[in-house]
Chains A and B, each alone.
Chain A
Amino acid sequence: DAKTTQPNSMESNEEEPVHLPCNHSTISGTDYIHWYRQLPSQGPEYVIHGLTSNVNNRMASLAIAEDRKSSTLILHRATLRDAAVYYCILRPYSGNTGKLIFGQGTTLQVKP
């Protein structure tokens, strides 16, 4: 399974943008880039995913490098509720179903 590398932790100030990086240099052509976040004592929550093009949704934006070896999750205005562990995961395309292998993720702290 292709692996991802993320910084262990990041800090942000409330209402400022946050850019969470992820490296995935061994990504294959059919791997989707997924982002999830997990609040304490809760299951992970889907944030966003993409394949080649940048993606936007109500929660965040995903910027994917042209060579797909890295990506960045962008929270446009961080709030205290965005403090969580963020996981960047490659989902293999395997007949519509591929298992997700979690790395250590990035713990985001948001300061008021």
Chain B
Amino acid sequence: GAVVSQHPSWVICKSGTSVKIECRSLDFQATTMFWYRQFPKQSLMLMATSNEGSKATYEQGVEKDKFLINHASLTLSTLTVTSAHPEDSSFYICSADRAQAGAGYTFGSGTRLTVV
């Protein structure tokens, strides 16, 4: 149990276009999901906390108008990278919380975004 599906697994887009990444909890409901980005040979950096039915909470330094997060249902959160530029190329990873006190989080398999 506790599977999180992330789609697409990789995407190449042109500079200036927008890209949407989906994160779905397949067998549980997730009121809270998290979005991370990871550059090569670096650790994961938390971008934002996505709450079902309300606005996302962004970490300091993350542009909320550039990284749009929508969490419209208990099983789906989306991250849209708007007007993508080459410096946005990164590995984006989502995770979902089963809301069990102290329990482990489940992560998606990640999305490799390359902006050309």
Binding site for B on A (CB under 8 A): 32, 34, 36, 38, 41-46, 48-49, 51, 87, 91, 93, 96-97, 99-105
Q: How far is the CA of A96 from the CA of B101 in the complex (A)?
A: 5
Name the one of B43, B94, B99 contacting A96, with C-beta atoms under 8 angstroms.
B99
Residues of chain B lying within 8 A (CB to CB) of residue A105: 43
Question: Known contacts A97-B97, A99-B49, A100-B95; is A46 also within 8 Å of B105 by CB?
Answer: yes
Residues of chain B lying within 8 A (CB to CB) of residue A45: 107
Total A-B pairs, Cβ < 8 A: 62
Binding site for A on B (CB under 8 A): 4, 6, 31-32, 34, 36, 43-46, 49, 91, 93-95, 97, 99-110, 112
Main SS of the interface on chain A? loop
Whether B101 lies near A93 (C-beta < 8 A) is yes
- Would you give the shortest CB distance from B25 to chain A, in whole angstroms? 13
Name the one of B4, B31, B103 contacting A49, with C-beta atoms under 8 angstroms.
B103
Give the interface centre of B34, B44, B46, B95 by most chain A CB atoms within 10 Å: B44
Name the one of A43, A49, A51 contacting B107, with C-beta atoms under 8 angstroms.
A43
Whether A32 lies near B102 (C-beta < 8 A) is yes
- Would you give the shortest CB distance from B4 to chain A, in whole angstroms? 8
Question: Known contacts A41-B110, A43-B110; is A100 also within 8 Å of B91 by CB?
Answer: no
